[in-house]
Amino acid sequence: MLVAFSVSPLGAGESVTDAVADAVRVVRESGLPHRTDAMFTTVEGEWDEVMDVVRRATEAVGRHAGRVSLVLKADIRPGHEGELTGKVERLEARLSS
């Protein structure tokens, strides 16, 4: 499964860089395939392991503020792996043909 999520503290001031860095650190230390861009972090793995990473990343952000915003989108497709890059590769192949 792929889970794209964005987590940020509410009421912690204008900059959220430190809080987001703590969340991304949790993702990177998980060992799961992942990609971070300007708006979301996408993680690939099994349901329990991905949701555990999201929970721990949210908790890390929560240490910066008493309230946290979490946006999550999931692509649940049992039996498929490598979709973090596979989806983009298929799209690029289509665009170049």
Q: Does domain 2-96 have CATH number 3.40.50.261?
A: no
pLDDT digits (tens, 9 = 90+) for 30-88: 999 999 999 999 999 999 999 999 999 999 999 999 999 999 999 999 888 998 888 88
pLDDT digits (tens, 9 = 90+) for 1-13: 999 999 999 986 7
* Cβ–Cβ < 8 Å for 28, 35: no
Residue 13 DSSP code: -
Please give the model's pTM, rounded to 2 decimal places.
0.89
Q: Which residue, among 94, 2, 11, has the nearest Cα to 46 in the 3D structure?
A: 2
CA distance 24 to 18: 10
User: Domain spans of the chain?
Assistant: 2-96
